[in-house]
Structure 1
Amino acid sequence: MTTGAPPWYRVVASVMRPVASLAMRKDWHGAEHLPVDTGYIAVSNHVSPVDPLTFAHFLYNNGRPPRFLAKASLFDLPVAGWLLTKLDQIPVYRGTKRARDAIDAGAVVLARGDMIAMFPEGTLTKDPDLWPMTARPGAARMALEQNVPVVPVAQWGAHRLIAQDSKKLHPFPRKEITVVAGPPIDLDEFRGKPIDAALLRAATIKIMATLTSMLEEIRGETAPAEPFDPRDRKRDA
């Protein structure tokens, strides 16, 4: 059973949804794939700073207020940090002794029947053509440790509102934003096994391959055979 949205979540949503509707035309599909009777993890690709808003909007409109894993430094900001706390979001202490805290906090959210929203890439894609790049294993780890479904939610179009390399908003004319949820990803081949780096890597590859395939259908294009890896930046040349 879900706990529903905190009061401040409803306040923010009541302000943001009509504003968002002025700037975008919603081409949204696949809500029937979002579980209603269990906690789950929704994962999405990341091409624009607007993505968290469109991702959250889609999930909230379908009855599940998402809890995002957000950089811990954001929680230190005077207004944003206070609001993130009120919205029941989860700080991520990347590269510190507290890195595990986000996984543990996420487990509590999932155990009570609520849902976690994640961008497995951890940041905006660095792929020059905005395809999903290699990802971090956090979503796979949480899904396997807590034995919950992972629902892929591919999205496209938010970069027309705000591009990666710009802070300028382009709300007019209204931009079409496509958001599509697919069936839960079949991770049964990885469940019930010791969770090590190799297992997490394979599960993460499957998660990202599913998102990439969905994005290919949305864009009507074919993604590169290998995902961009920002560690070697091999497709920047």
Structure 2
Amino acid sequence: MRAPQRSNRAYRAVAFVIRPVLLAITRRDWRGTEHLPASGGYIAAANHMTNFDPLTFAHFLYDNGVAPKILAKSSLFKVPVLGRVLRATGQIPVHRDSVQAGQSLDAAVEAVHAGECVAVFPEGTLTREPDLWPMLGKTGVARLALSTRAPVVPVAQWGAQDVLGRYSKMFRPLPPKKVTVVAGPPVVLDDLYERPLDTATLREATERVMVAITALLEEIRGERAPVERFDPRRNRPQGQA
């Protein structure tokens, strides 16, 4: 397979090692790749169920000609070896609840303007919804989308949790697990571009992204998500737009 044009040497080296492993332990059902822009910067936003799904998300994008810049929590950049890999491949650290938080957005905006695909998990952490449905999203994806006016492609994943469960340390590579990843058409946000970048606008944009991801996941799972979205701050659902 030909490596994505924007991948650097470190990215290609990591893919050379990890991709064969992923090919061996997963059976891939990838759909909606026609919705990935052929040129220009954009945002790919996916649901987050397990610490394994960043790899399946990146695998889906990489094999479709994209070397994503993933927004990852800053603590991962301090882990020996892993941190070095993340920095070498150009991933973007997210500094939560700190004075450096704005730097993450600035770096992501710069990457999008440079024509990169910035991959985000709008929930900000593993979903806490009991049945692994997407929970309430954080507004970072909205800030990035409205600041850059770049397309936001929703992506839903299912099956990665069978390889490594949520909060589990038990890795189950065999037998190979079916992993489904589906991309949808870009979320409509252009009607929000001229509105003030206030809480109401950010929450509306964020929820549109989460609704699109959830709809794709409903198609994959063949069932309906709860009518109310889970809000981890209150440990109860919140009305879903």
Instruction: Give TM class, smaller chain.
Output: over 0.9
Q: 1:85 aligns with which of 68, 87, 92?
A: 87
Q: Deviations over 1:187-235 (max 9, x none)?
A: 1221122211110001101110111111011000110001111111126
The 3-state SS of whatever aligns with 1:227 is strand
The answer on whether the counterparts of 1:3 and 1:114 sit within 8 Å (CA) in structure 2 is: no
The answer on whether the counterparts of 2:10 and 2:89 sit within 8 Å (CA) in structure 1 is: yes
The answer on whether the counterparts of 2:71 and 2:120 sit within 8 Å (CA) in structure 1 is: yes
User: Any gaps of 5 or more consecutive residues in structure 2?
Assistant: none
Q: Deviations over 1:86-120 (max 9, x none)?
A: 01011111111110001100111111111100000
1:172-191 counterparts in 2 under 5 A?
172-191=174-193
**What's 1:159 paired with?**
161
Q: Deviations over 1:120-168 (max 9, x none)?
A: 0001100000000001011111011111000001110001001013111
User: Residue 141 and residue 3 in structure 1: after superposition, are their counterparts in 2 closer, same or farther (change >3 A)?
Assistant: farther
Tell me, in whole angstroms, the C-alpha distance in 2 between the residues paired with 1:171 and 1:77: 23
**What's 2:126 paired with?**
124
Tell me, in whole angstroms, the C-alpha distance in 1 between the residues paired with 2:219 and 2:81: 39
**What's 1:8 paired with?**
10
Tell me, in whole angstroms, the C-alpha distance in 1 between the residues paired with 2:37 and 2:163: 30
Identity %: 51
**What's 1:27 paired with?**
29
User: Any gaps of 5 or more consecutive residues in structure 1?
Assistant: none
The answer on whether the counterparts of 1:121 and 1:135 sit within 8 Å (CA) in structure 2 is: yes
Tell me, in whole angstroms, the C-alpha distance in 1 between the residues paired with 2:80 and 2:100: 22
Q: Which amino acid aligns with 1:176?
A: K
Q: Which runs of 4+ in 1 moved over 4 A?
A: none
1:62-211 counterparts in 2 under 5 A?
62-211=64-213
TM-score (norm 1): 0.96
The 3-state SS of whatever aligns with 1:100 is helix
Q: Which amino acid aligns with 1:127?
A: E
Number of equivalent positions: 234
The answer on whether the counterparts of 1:31 and 1:62 sit within 8 Å (CA) in structure 2 is: yes
Q: Which amino acid aligns with 1:109?
A: A
Q: 1:229 aligns with which of 228, 231, 237?
A: 231
The 3-state SS of whatever aligns with 1:170 is coil
Q: Which amino acid aligns with 2:63?
A: N
1:47-66 counterparts in 2 under 5 A?
47-66=49-68
Tell me, in whole angstroms, the C-alpha distance in 2 between the residues paired with 1:165 and 1:16: 22
Q: Deviations over 1:29-49 (max 9, x none)?
A: 111100011100000001111
The 3-state SS of whatever aligns with 1:35 is coil
The answer on whether the counterparts of 1:3 and 1:112 sit within 8 Å (CA) in structure 2 is: no
Deviates more, 1:158-167 or 1:123-132: 158-167
The answer on whether the counterparts of 2:149 and 2:190 sit within 8 Å (CA) in structure 1 is: no
Tell me, in whole angstroms, the C-alpha distance in 2 between the residues paired with 1:87 and 1:194: 35
The answer on whether the counterparts of 2:128 and 2:135 sit within 8 Å (CA) in structure 1 is: yes
TM-score (norm 2): 0.94
Tell me, in whole angstroms, the C-alpha distance in 2 between the residues paired with 1:131 and 1:226: 11
Tell me, in whole angstroms, the C-alpha distance in 2 between the residues paired with 1:81 and 1:17: 19
Give the C-alpha shift of residue 3 in structure 1.
Answer: 6.5
Give the C-alpha shift of residue 61 in structure 1.
Answer: 0.6
Tell me, in whole angstroms, the C-alpha distance in 2 between the residues paired with 1:80 and 1:40: 25
